[in-house]
Chain A
Amino acid sequence: MRIVICGVGALGSTAAVLCRNLEATLVLVDFDRVESKNLLAQAYVKQSVGKNKAEALKAQLLNFHGVKAEAVGVRLGKDNVEAICGAAELIVDCFDNAASRAVLSEFARAKGKPLLHAAVSGDGTFGLVRWDERFVADAEAKEGQATCEGGEHLPLLGLLGATIARTIQDFVKGGVRRDSMVGLAAVTPT
């Protein structure tokens, strides 16, 4: 199966690493570069700083885990979504803006392709994993709202990344499409 993960920031990079067990081709899409501030919330190592995120994650998967992936280091938009996602058997939206999410939704609905969305709140306390049939993208509460750059949100990002990976795994194995909400109480303290 060809799985295209669109956006490999906090959620996409964490989920991709947890998808390394799948018998699938992972295609990583992101135009952005790794910055040192990303290291506490995203699955990048210090040696990747300065590199394109898709290329860096591809290299990390190969060098650390022996997993081959494909990298597409460009900004996805209406003009290239067909070229990037046309062969996808599953599209995973981990973008950080409503406009890009809308491009994926429009494409997936037109082509009948399965599309899984993942999204996290600005305060890092809550996230959603939801299939396109029931997903509506949220705009930022305030323009320029701070994102998950520090390490404060890492525990929730870990839970959310694992939920995305499990949802992908369930779909790959049996076509199951399960939605989830992820909060800080997903793990019960004892």
Chain B
Amino acid sequence: MAILNITYGGLSADYQLELDARIPDADLKRIAVEVLRAGNVPGLHLPHVAENAFDDFVIDRLQNGQRIYLRPKVPFG
């Protein structure tokens, strides 16, 4: 069990993952698309989010993997 925080379009929201927190990045990105489309992430309902919306995103696993952040790359300063 872990909390998946998804950031998209400048907005962030949490989703309770009922899966092993060691799930691979690619699966996490696929799950994120599905739960966003289904409206299962309070405050972040994106019914038409693209299948590849998170291809260039980064996943941070913090707090021993209990907090997982799916976020855009931040290369600039």
Contacts and interface: CB of A to CB of B under 8 A. Distances in A.
Interface of A: 7, 9-12, 93-98, 118-123, 125-128, 134, 136-141, 145, 147-148, 156, 181, 183-185
Contacts, number: 78
Interface residues of B, number: 18
Nearest to A121: B72
B10 A96 contact: no
A126 B75 CA distance: 11
B18 interface: no
Contact of A185 (B10, B72, B74): B10
8 contacts: A11-B76, A120-B74, A120-B77, A125-B10, A126-B72, A134-B60, A138-B73, A183-B12
A97 B73 CA distance: 12
B77 A96 contact: yes
Interface of B: 5, 7, 9-12, 56, 58, 60, 62, 69, 71-77
B76 A141 contact: no
Nearest to A6: B77
Given A141-B56, A185-B11, A95 B74 contact: no
B77 A138 contact: no
A119 B71 CA distance: 12
A184 B10 CA distance: 5
Contact of B73 (A140, A147, A181, A184): A140
Contacts of B72: 121-123, 125-126
Contacts of B58: 138
Contacts of B9: 125, 184
B12 A122 contact: no
